Chain A
């Protein structure tokens, strides 16, 4: 029978190979799914993976990978710090929303004044908004020992209601004929998070994501705080002996992830999305959790995972409209990809052994 044997240390070979194997296996399984739906599996798979990168309109889709992947990476980096320390912020979606609301509110308060200072102020407000929203589960955990998974998750739904209230009330565009939604930042130069180079997809949020990757890498590998985070996750008792203050760590990890999620929200509302509306959030906060794990909680891994995720979204959209695949099929396909990545990832840490008889 097959048994698993833990490797003394993670396999370098499989660390790089598992994503590749997983993608190939997903292509096969996904191809069968698409064939079952009556589509040509080769065209479908080709559309999802090839079109956005090398297809005839890739000049448009490649930058879009950054637009879609940017917020995912930014949020996932923040989450990965906590996840490594065993602190589970799964309410990034809420922090994303609150960051967007706070940042947008600051920008709209200045409307129609034009000044270079407005956008930086919005950025600060966005980060602070996310940070404060994340402080609720953090402080409750520190003070009362409440479970942060639950509190942060509950706060997502609270934030969604606030969002609806804001787009219908306080932040509603006074010139919008009573329709819900705020003014559009794309038409407000001082508050607009525009593309830095036209057609490149690079906006400040993408830049922030790259900076976050670099900072997280340095923090985790070169800084004592990063060491504490890793130690707490691997051996909480040892960490306490090493002088780690677990309460401070909770506040730091939740605060950092909240601030990054808030930033992502602000960059999205002032850039690609443009306005606060009832359905402004589109699940980035939850998808980022998956991205964090796909990237094995490693900054560079998260960068790649975020781009891969963006690829399946964009490729999936193309497949929908070109081939008439239902959106649900794309969702199933993404689910499969995650399953295979998670399952095959085992080979990094374990060796499969074929044993014929009992091992003594």
Chain B
């Protein structure tokens, strides 16, 4: 056993990378759920974003265009969910699961000719002074730009929900859609925007896996990240700041587990592999004392009766 071989700096830095895809996807889902909609199709939208982003980045040579395409791809798929749940008034749980099934199949079809292709690389930012600060430099200031986009998104979502009129309306729609409707807000329109935003975020999160974290395309490569993102939202009790905390915890446990193994610590691997999930359950129980709860209209179908 040699714990000294684990470098805390590098550990924290790779933790930030591991957390980014689930962080971005979970923020999107947070907004969706705050609007009173439960979309279980994150995994499907993430993998669709992963292939759209990958394909476009490879064809154009521009990772930036790739990420934009990923956002569009995820958003387009989420529009299917919109059609089902907002216009056809279908059950959201079933629609979300169908979306995941569809997305996994579609991405595999789209990705057939991209197996084994290398994407264009993305440079890590090097911020002259900041990156050179000992400890904090490598941990915080020498990542690719998407990591910072994720962090900025945390602040943006938090601010939007808490301090803006749009956020107020969104929350109102999520808490009580009938009242919001009575007050003259366009419930459906708000929800469509929220769902599309969620789809775009999931797409970007997926593309982060295929373009930066791994980076390559293989079928089914998101391997359950979408479900973890879903868990994060509930874990965070629908608060943006806590989503970030949760993402680092989830990313952190996996990275730490692998690091402990590499350091030769004799640990029961399969039990450590299940630890992120067990920890989530424990945290859920601990946080149950907190009275923040799910948006009241979550998952309920809205139909305006005049």
Contacts and interface: CB of A to CB of B under 8 A. Distances in A.
Q: Do chains A and B touch in the complex (CB under 8 A)?
A: yes
A347 to B, nearest CB: 9
Contacts of B294: 147
A343 interface: yes
B288 to A, nearest CB: 4
Contact of A328 (B40, B95, B108, B280): B108
Contacts, number: 137
B88 A343 contact: yes
A161 interface: yes
A214 interface: no
A149 to B, nearest CB: 7
B280 A154 contact: yes
Given A147-B234, A162-B274, A335 B105 contact: yes
B277 A157 contact: yes
B25 to A, nearest CB: 15
A144 interface: yes
Highest count of chain B CB atoms <10 Å: which of A168, A329, A333, A338: A338
B80 interface: yes
B271 A161 contact: yes
Interface residues of B, number: 46
A144 B285 contact: yes
A88 interface: yes
A346 B97 contact: no
B284 A150 contact: yes
B281 to A, nearest CB: 5
Size class of A's contact patch? Answer: 35 or more
B284 A326 contact: no
B303 A359 contact: no
B265 interface: no
B91 interface: yes
B109 A158 contact: no
B94 interface: yes
Contacts of B108: 326-328, 331
A63 B284 CA distance: 44
Contacts of B40: 90
Contact of B278 (A90, A146, A158): A158
A335 B231 contact: no
B257 to A, nearest CB: 12
Contact of B270 (A165, A290, A293, A359): A165
A145 interface: yes
Contact of B94 (A136, A146, A334, A338): A338
B305 interface: yes
B294 to A, nearest CB: 7
Nearest to A163: B270
Given A338-B98, A342-B88, A342-B98, A146 B288 contact: yes
B148 interface: no
A136 B94 CA distance: 24
A308 interface: no
Contacts of A293: 91, 93-94
A153 B228 CA distance: 9
A345 to B, nearest CB: 6
Contacts of A328: 104-109, 219
Interface string B274-299: 10011011001100100000100000
A164 B274 CA distance: 11
A260 interface: no
A67 interface: no
A326 B112 contact: yes
B94 A289 contact: yes
Interface in B33-85: 40, 80, 83-84
Contacts of B115: none
A161 B97 CA distance: 23
B209 interface: no
A59 B80 CA distance: 38
Nearest to A145: B288
Nearest to B102: A335
Contacts of A37: 109
B166 interface: no
A226 B9 CA distance: 58
B140 to A, nearest CB: 30
B165 to A, nearest CB: 28
A346 B98 contact: no
B204 to A, nearest CB: 22
A289 B55 CA distance: 32
B101 A334 contact: yes
A339 B98 contact: yes
Interface in B145-166: none
B276 to A, nearest CB: 8
Contact of B274 (A146, A157, A168, A336): A157
A330 interface: yes
Nearest to B280: A154
A336 B90 contact: no
Interface string A335-360: 11011001111100110000000010
5 contacts: A150-B280, A154-B278, A158-B277, A338-B102, A350-B89
Interface of B: 40, 80, 83-84, 88-91, 93-95, 97-99, 101-109, 112, 219, 224, 227, 230-231, 234-235, 270-271, 273-274, 277-278, 280-281, 284-285, 288, 294, 303, 305-306
Given A146-B288, A168-B270, 11 more contacts: A4-B89, A146-B284, A149-B234, A150-B284, A151-B284, A157-B274, A294-B94, A328-B108, A331-B104, A332-B102, A335-B99
Interface of A: 4, 6, 37, 83, 88, 90, 136, 140, 144-147, 149-151, 153-155, 157-158, 161-162, 164-165, 168, 286, 289-290, 293-294, 326-336, 338-339, 342-346, 349-350, 359
